[in-house]
Amino acid sequence: MKKNIVMTLVLVFVLGITCTAFAGPFADVPAKHWAYDAVSKLAQAGIVDGYGDGTFGGDKTITRYEMAQIVAKAMERSDKADASNKALINKLAAEYAQELDNLGVRVTKLENKIGNITWTGQVREWYQWQDQGTGDRTGLDTRILLWATAPLTKDITFTGRFSAWSGWGEADHRVGSTVEMDNAYLQGKNWTLGRQPITLGKGLVYNAGYNNDGVTFTVGNKVKLTGAAFKNPFAGNIVAANATYQATDNLDLTAVYAKNTDEVNVIDTFSAGFGYKGIRNVTVTGEYGQNDSDANAGDAAKAWVAEAKYKGAEWKKPHTYGLFAGYRDAEAGFTALTGDPLWETHLGVLGSMNDVKGANFGFDYTVFNNAVVTVNYLDLEDQAGADLKGMTAQLRYFF
């Protein structure tokens, strides 16, 4: 009997401590937990309304699942929240992520809705060699890219990119030798606006991932038509039309027309291209173009490229690899911004698809998760036969 009395007193004592520790509107959340103030602030802002009477249940015991329901309601009304309250909603979503998931609410989707900024990055260690020119014909560069992505509404996303680029041993100890924001654009369901990457067709006519300020608009499904108007510091003002057609599961076709609108017109070009992947582990890409600009004095400049690639390094799969080989032939005056739709070639080796012909071949290999090594050798010459050989090798890794 005495033993039972003692046990009862102990139980009452423990329950008394427990009730004190978990007093307040969130029964299983300590009274001093930050979630109390967070939800109270959201209630004052009119983003959540408790149980309908303006309270959060008074002395009613509230479980974590009930708390998660309140958080889910706050997220649904996040468009009413200012930046400070959005941060509180984010923090609550992280705290009750498991309960939200059990309730069928995906936290990642809700985070997207309230405009979280997602940061990603890439580092490139870049070696180049060219068998032309005088002086030092080799170079080592480091480039750091930082992307910021933020959904602004359900259908509109902002993307920005910061780029820092400098040669080995050339950067100041405080800042890199070249720093810029080369992407800052909005993207909707069928349009883009701002400083953005633009590739036309397979890239023969135009292929630049940065510093294109302008707008694009796309219509269509199986046949997609895109109109673009933009300005680039190296190419001037350009208007373009781009068409893509998915002919079969293994074959896609492209057509491009691009023209300078500046007083000096160096681009007045059309092209037709294709991509084919009907051969196991092999992708074939090709494109033909013709430039009829005034700069060519009435003589059209023609160019074509083709490449075959076997397999390909996959960023998420270590020890995967790819082998590729291509050929290009561009007459003098064809003039394209990057001129390398086949592979990203350092501008120091090949500045544009203009007065150049020859083969390239190389490989890529995933050395560890999110890190790929690529080597590309270019056995090129100009149309008169002068040597334009070069090579690039780079290690790129994402974080």
Residues 184 and 304 in one domain: yes
Q: What is the pLDDT of residue 209?
A: 86
**DSSP one-letter code for 161:** E
The pTM is what?
0.70
SS3 (DSSP) at 15: helix
Residues 106 and 125 in one domain: no
Residues 70 and 154 in one domain: no
Domain boundary residue among 62, 87, 113? 113
Residues 194 and 323 in one domain: yes
Residues 335 and 371 in one domain: yes
Structure tokens at 116: 């979280």
Contact 161/185 with Cβ under 8 angstroms? no
Count of domains for the chain: 2
Helices vs strands, H then E, count in the chain? 6, 16
Query: Per-block average pLDDT, block size 10, for the chain (399 residues)?
Result: 45 39 43 70 77 46 71 81 78 80 62 67 88 72 90 88 86 68 94 95 89 95 94 91 95 96 87 95 95 79 93 92 93 75 48 82 94 91 86 90
SS3 (DSSP) at 36: helix
Long-range contacts of 65-73 (CB under 8 A, 24+ apart): 65/99, 65/102, 65/103, 67/26, 67/29, 67/35, 67/39, 67/96, 67/99, 68/96, 68/99, 68/100, 68/102, 68/103, 68/105, 69/103, 70/39, 71/96, 71/100, 72/100, 72/103, 72/105, 72/110, 73/48
Domain boundary residue among 113, 140, 159? 113
**DSSP one-letter code for 264:** S
Domain boundary residue among 79, 113, 147? 113
Structure tokens at 283: 């992708």
Residues 128 and 107 in one domain: no
Residues 234 and 173 in one domain: yes
- Range(s) of the domain holding residue 312: 118-398
Contact 244/253 with Cβ under 8 angstroms? yes
Q: What is the pLDDT of residue 274?
A: 96
**DSSP one-letter code for 37:** H
Q: What is the pLDDT of residue 304?
A: 93
Residues 92 and 130 in one domain: no
